[in-house]
């Protein structure tokens, strides 16, 4: 399954991911330079932390998503995105970032039951399994990045996050990128710029900005709930059928998300 620009032009997913990382790194570094230094100087320790976070939030996140998307349905991808806030809540408790609560435990149990239903136990859906790991990876990034964002600043954190992510992803993305760029039409470049502007630059910057002002769980709930539900509704409106396994998974995962979202901060 390849991303398509309007008009049907295909774009290699690895090339698109590489463009997102390089474009994000260039944009955020330029903005950081024009605004001057914010926060404390970035030491070696913080650079090492950001490099590690780039694996969770950029490189592994993109690779797992891209390969998972090839082997599962768009419905499963949208649905499994709803596990990010649930995983974030559980990891925040595990790492001592937030207090334990019975709602977190129940929400996690429901969501994991839904994930297992979607992935399958006897017959493994490897695409759904990879997308679930993608959600877990991104949830870990959100939870673990908050301290660095508070210390270094959202803008510089995201700039270096994309830089290190591009370096890590380069072995997978450079060759498809070099093959793709000469073949892109103006319409294809328009699609790439759209992906850079909204799902990349705006999404990561809003995420980092929100992390400096709220808990990791609340950030993931409010940022990801609306697009997830929009994707699920679009699937229903297109009249595409659901298997019983997908229907059960949807009920369990969204119920788990609802329980986590209803927690008191």
Tell the burial category of 231 from Cβ atoms under 10 Å away from its Cβ (0-12, 13-18, 19+).
middle
**pTM, to two decimals:** 0.85
Give the Cβ contact number of residue 54 at 10 Å.
25
Indicate whether 216 belongs to any domain: yes
Give the lowest-confidence range in 92-96, 187-191, 237-241, 249-253.
Answer: 237-241
Residue numbers of the domain that contains 167: 13-261
Return the structure tokens found at 245: 């396994």
For 80-125, how does the pLDDT look when each residue is reduced to its tens digit (9 = 90+)?
888 888 899 999 999 998 888 999 999 999 999 999 888 875 567 8
Helix or strand (DSSP H, E) at 49: helix 44-54
- Whether the CA torsion 165, 168, 169, 173 is positive or negative: it is positive
Indicate whether 140 belongs to any domain: yes
Indicate whether 3 belongs to any domain: no
Indicate whether 7 belongs to any domain: no
More confident site: 210 or 128: 128
Q: What are phi and psi for residue 247, nearest 5 degrees?
A: -65, -45
Give the lowest-confidence range in 14-28, 141-155, 240-254.
Answer: 240-254
Q: Is the pLDDT of residue 260 over 70?
A: yes
Indicate whether 164 belongs to any domain: yes
What Cα–Cα distance (Å) separates residue 238 from each residue in 34, 198, 234?
A: 45, 24, 6
Q: Is the pLDDT of residue 75 over 60?
A: yes
For 178-198, how does the pLDDT look when each residue is reduced to its tens digit (9 = 90+)?
999 999 989 889 989 988 988
Indicate whether 254 belongs to any domain: yes
For residues 65 and 225, give the distance between their C-alpha atoms in angstroms, rounded to a whole number. 18
For residues 239 and 219, give the distance between their C-alpha atoms in angstroms, rounded to a whole number. 32
Q: What is the mean pLDDT of the chain?
A: 84
For the chain, what percent of residues have pLDDT higher than 90? 38
What is the secondary structure of 182-250 as a DSSP string? GG--HHHHHHHHHHIIIIIIIHHHHHHHHHTTS-HHHHHHHHHHHHHHHHHHHHHHTT----HHHHHHH
For 110-169, how does the pLDDT look when each residue is reduced to its tens digit (9 = 90+)?
999 999 888 875 567 889 899 999 999 999 999 999 999 988 888 899 999 999 999 999
Please count the structural domains in the chain.
1
Helix, strand, coil share (%) of the chain residues, nearest 5: 80, 0, 20
Q: Is the pLDDT of residue 1 over 50?
A: no
Question: For residue 258, which of 144, 89, 69 has the smallest C-alpha distance?
Answer: 89
For residues 221 and 239, give the distance between their C-alpha atoms in angstroms, rounded to a whole number. 27
CA angle 14, 152, 201 (to 5 degrees): 35
For residues 44 and 50, give the distance between their C-alpha atoms in angstroms, rounded to a whole number. 10
Give the Cβ contact number of residue 156 at 10 Å.
23
Looking at residue 9, its pLDDT comes to 62
Indicate whether 5 belongs to any domain: no
Q: Is the pLDDT of residue 63 over 60?
A: yes
Indicate whether 178 belongs to any domain: yes
Mean pLDDT for the stretch of residues 224-234 = 56
């Amino acid at each position: 399954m390849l991303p398509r620009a309007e008009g049907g032009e295909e774009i290699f997913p690895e090339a698109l991911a590489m463009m997102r990382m390089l474009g994000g790194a260039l944009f955020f570094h330029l903005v950081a330079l024009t605004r001057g230094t914010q926060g404390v100087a970035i030491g070696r320790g913080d650079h090492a932390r950001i490099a590690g976070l780039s694996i969770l939030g950029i490189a592994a996140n993109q690779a797992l998503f891209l390969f998972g998307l090839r082997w599962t349905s768009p419905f499963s991808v949208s649905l499994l995105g709803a596990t990010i806030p649930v995983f974030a809540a559980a990891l925040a408790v595990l790492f001592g970032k937030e207090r334990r609560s019975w709602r977190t435990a129940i929400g996690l149990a429901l969501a994991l039951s839904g994930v297992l239903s979607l992935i399958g136990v006897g017959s493994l859906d490897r695409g759904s399994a990879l997308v679930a790991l993608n959600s877990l990876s991104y949830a870990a990034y959100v939870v673990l990045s908050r301290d660095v964002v508070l210390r270094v600043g959202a803008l510089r954190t995201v700039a270096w996050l994309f830089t290190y992510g591009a370096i890590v992803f380069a072995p997978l993305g450079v060759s498809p990128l070099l093959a793709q760029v000469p073949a892109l039409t103006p319409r294809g470049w328009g699609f790439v710029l759209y992906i850079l502007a909204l799902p990349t630059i705006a999404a990561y910057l809003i995420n980092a900005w929100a992390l400096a002002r709220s808990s990791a769980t609340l950030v993931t709930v409010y940022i990801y709930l609306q697009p997830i539900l929009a994707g699920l509704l679009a699937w229903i409106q297109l009249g595409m059928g659901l298997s019983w396994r997908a229907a059960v998974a949807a009920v369990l995962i969204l119920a788990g998300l609802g329980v986590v979202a209803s927690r008191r901060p």
